[in-house]
Amino acid sequence: MPHTTDALLSPLTELSEDEQLLRQSVRDFALAEVRPLAREMDEHAKMSAPLVEKLFGLGVMGVEIPEKFGGAGGTFFHSVLVVEELSRVDPSVGVMVDVQNTLVINAILRWGNDEIKARLLPRLAAKAIGAYGLSEAGSGSDAFALQTRAAAKGDDFVINGRKLWITNANEADIFIVFANINPDAGYRGITAFIVERGTPGFTIGKKEDKLGIRASSTCELIFEDCNVSKSSILGDVGKGYKVAIETLNEGRIGIGAQMLGLAQGALDHAISYTKERKQFGKAIAEFQGVQFQLARMATDVEASRLLVYNAARLRDAGKPFLHEAAMCKLFASEVAERNASMAINLFGGNGFVKDYPVEKLYRDAKIGQIYEGTSNLQLQTIAKHLLT
């Protein structure tokens, strides 16, 4: 088991007994079940189906789903701990679980009516993977410039359009899809729909060949006269922008947790390797220059953890957390890239080859500054808070 810096935990990052047990169980699972598969899944750009079944068995695919629906009945903070520990070993697995919990399940818990909850939550807890269909070719940072349309047709809506960069799309059975039913109303026409795999007129398109988090599928969604019933609307007609904004604010904490886990994983590997690698007759960890680099990495990880945990605790307490979420995603994603880069430096030539794990973490880290709101958008959110 790699070295851990948990001894550095501050009062804000201290965990209750149940949180400690959850973290340890997920950490043990990640080391035993995820780590042996990480390289193969990365090379083949495919998530292991047996591993996904085990994740459901562990209960981490439905952390906040109430027990009456077959879920774990946990908190948002529990989801953050799960994502952090999985991402410490493989951020691809971490983001799959993150989207399931912090985006899809959270949106259904908050905006779904009783029928939608009763129909979907037991499936999401047991075996169904969810995906979140917001982004389009011309609608990335400008999330509400949607071109996907939904037109009323009797008791149904007909959806036409395309979505891009949709995480979990290759494996998902349940999709939250955003379409505009009244373009003249701008963002006030956006409505969220539940669309299930196999619905006529809905197909999964191209799977992207990515730099990092390769085992996590990222695909195009294609809607061609796709009929969905009015009962599939999540929330109210024309209120999809609220579903998107409020869910993504929480999702940014999840990405902060993913990047925190990645940064911790890079530090773990760096500490272990520098104790083993010898130069000039002694382990390189004995050189002060190396010690200082490790110290900076550890300090950045702890600062990231404080930001991520604080945002998650605020969310669970029902307090405002918008700029805290932006801060934790911004900082943790930058730390992840720095720590992964430094780990490669400390590994030397071995850090640049795929036989060692840190080059993968370096590739995986880059996406943290891009998806679920770019770093510039996070800076904009933080600045707006400061100046109002």
Catalytic residues: 372
CA dist., res. 342 & res. 360, Å (int): 13
Spell out the residues 6+ positions from residue 148 whose beta carbon is closer than 8 angstroms to its own.
136, 159, 160, 161, 162, 163, 177, 178, 179, 180, 223
Looking up tokens 């908190």 gives: 75
CA dist., res. 12 & res. 212, Å (int): 32
CA dist., res. 344 & res. 80, Å (int): 27
CA dist., res. 285 & res. 180, Å (int): 57
Confirm if 99 and 168 have CB atoms less than 8 A apart. Answer: yes
Quick one: CA dihedral 285, 343, 41, 26, positive or negative?
positive
CA gyration radius for the chain? 21
Looking up tokens 């780990």 gives: 343
CA angle 132, 167, 96 (to 5 degrees): 100
CA dist., res. 279 & res. 274, Å (int): 10
Alpha helices per DSSP H over 201-357: 240-276, 288-316, 322-347
Helix/strand number for the chain, H first, E second: 12, 10
Confirm if 338 and 359 have CB atoms less than 8 A apart. Answer: no
Residue 81: what residue type? Answer: L
Angstrom CA distances, 265 to 75, 218, 277, stand at 24, 23, 18
The region, left, alpha or beta by phi > 0 then psi within -120 to 50, assigned to residue 148 is beta
Q: Token digits for 173?
A: 């059975």
The region, left, alpha or beta by phi > 0 then psi within -120 to 50, assigned to residue 2 is beta
CA dist., res. 242 & res. 117, Å (int): 19
